[in-house]
Amino acid sequence: MGPERRAKEKEMVRVRAEYFSIRQICESGQCFRLERLEKQASEGEDSPETNRERAGSAGLDADGEESYALCALGRYLEIRQNGDEIFFDCTRQEFEKVWKNYFDLDEDYGKIIASIDRQDAWLTRAAAHGSGIRILRQDLWEMIVSFLISQQNNIRRIRRCIDLLCKTFGEEKRTKQGRRYYDFPGAQALAAASPEELRACNLGYRSRYIHETAGCIARGEADLAQIRALPHEQARQELMKLCGVGVKVAECVCLFGLHHTQAFPVDVHMDRVLAGRYPQGFPFEQYQKNAGIMQQYLFYYDLKKGGEKESGI
């Protein structure tokens, strides 16, 4: 059975990457179908709680290896990270074709962080704190629905709603190991769903937005392929024609679904950060195409620091 074992080993891609933290990516609120896997209890390891505490308090990755599972692009992927070593549980071919791009691994985030104005102590700290964040290249339709759901909602419930939506309307699939997972439902599937069925996913008043928007796409009244080809301002304008999509949701969709890295979503948190830290206004002109990445550092920093005391500077 030696050869078979070796073949299995080969179906694992190991890469080294700086400025990459799967945990930070998972917790940065851009992706709702990436989740941490609990450690196998077989090896007398620390309890999950100990792990969580350790991981949560460290600025960089904790020593322990962490595993995550992701459903995206109609696929299922498990990822492990230990320091700057990242293991993708897929073939080299799949990694090169799909995940390298999805995780934005060709972008030099060190260079982006180095471009930050050192006079801006807050942003410098925020970027140091979230230096492993990357802006994923996620599916446009999935981002539209996800951020429709995100409005006036909290991350935990957003995840649950999306999970339910996928289990109810998404195609059921199995990994080679037999693990069951669900695709994100397409516009056709959601357009065909009755309002009652959508309500059952705990979407609340957002179910109407999803029903109408899905219908709009399914009937061809809005064309996602066309929106993909538009520059930022126009793409945002077109997205805002969709029911339930306002400025904030449109900017999130542009940033995470179209990789318009200049998009700068302002929610209640960012509003607070901008008012408190940038009373003269955020220096958009300085960061231009990377403003959205700066936004993500600031958002994540605020998310993590939220609840802690307002220690000056």
Among 116, 244, 273, 290, binds DNA (CB under 7 A): 244
Among 63, 246, 288, 289, binds DNA (CB under 7 A): 246
Residue window 283-302: x/- pattern of binding to DNA, with contact defined by CB under 7 A: ----------------x---
Residue 150 as a binder of DNA (CB under 7 A): the answer is yes
Residue 275 as a binder of DNA (CB under 7 A): the answer is no
289, 261 in Cβ contact below 8 A? yes
Residue 199 as a binder of DNA (CB under 7 A): the answer is yes
CB of 274 to DNA, least distance (A): 13
H-run or E-run covering 36 = strand 34-37
* Distance, CA of 251 to CA of 240 (rounded, Å): 10
Helix (H, G, I), strand (E, B) or coil at 172: strand
Q: Which is nearer to DNA, 151 or 175 (CB)?
A: 151
115, 294 in Cβ contact below 8 A? no
Among 23, 206, 211, 260, binds DNA (CB under 7 A): 206
Residue 153 as a binder of DNA (CB under 7 A): the answer is yes
Residue 29 as a binder of DNA (CB under 7 A): the answer is yes
Residue 152 as a binder of DNA (CB under 7 A): the answer is yes
Residue 202 as a binder of DNA (CB under 7 A): the answer is yes
Residue 243 as a binder of DNA (CB under 7 A): the answer is yes
User: What is the CA angle 153-157-160, rounded to 5?
Assistant: 140
Among 162, 245, 254, 273, binds DNA (CB under 7 A): 245
Residue 156 as a binder of DNA (CB under 7 A): the answer is yes
Residue 197 as a binder of DNA (CB under 7 A): the answer is no
Residue 24 as a binder of DNA (CB under 7 A): the answer is no
* Residue 163 burial by Cβ neighbours in a 10 Å radius (0-12, 13-18, 19+): middle
Q: Which is nearer to DNA, 90 or 133 (CB)?
A: 133
Q: Which is nearer to DNA, 106 or 196 (CB)?
A: 196
Nearest Cα neighbor of 243 from 170, 169, 183, 191 is 191
Size of the site for DNA (CB under 7 A): 33
Question: Which residues 6+ apart lie within 8 Å of 203 measured at CB?
Answer: 149, 161, 165, 210
CB of 248 to DNA, least distance (A): 4
* Distance, CA of 211 to CA of 204 (rounded, Å): 12
Residue 154 as a binder of DNA (CB under 7 A): the answer is yes
Residue 85: C-alpha distances to residues 22, 111, 134, 227 (Å): 11, 20, 16, 36
265, 295 in Cβ contact below 8 A? yes
Catalytic residue ranges: 248
Question: How many CB atoms lie under 10 A from the CB of residue 181?
Answer: 19
Question: How many CB atoms lie under 10 A from the CB of residue 266?
Answer: 15
CB of 147 to DNA, least distance (A): 7
CB of 214 to DNA, least distance (A): 14
Residue 97 as a binder of DNA (CB under 7 A): the answer is no
260, 230 in Cβ contact below 8 A? no
115-134 positions binding DNA, by CB under 7 A: none
147, 213 in Cβ contact below 8 A? no
Q: Which is nearer to DNA, 75 or 160 (CB)?
A: 160
Residue 210 as a binder of DNA (CB under 7 A): the answer is no
What does the binding site for DNA look like in residue numbers (CB under 7 A)? Answer: 28-30, 150-157, 199, 202-206, 209, 240, 243-250, 252, 265, 267-269, 299
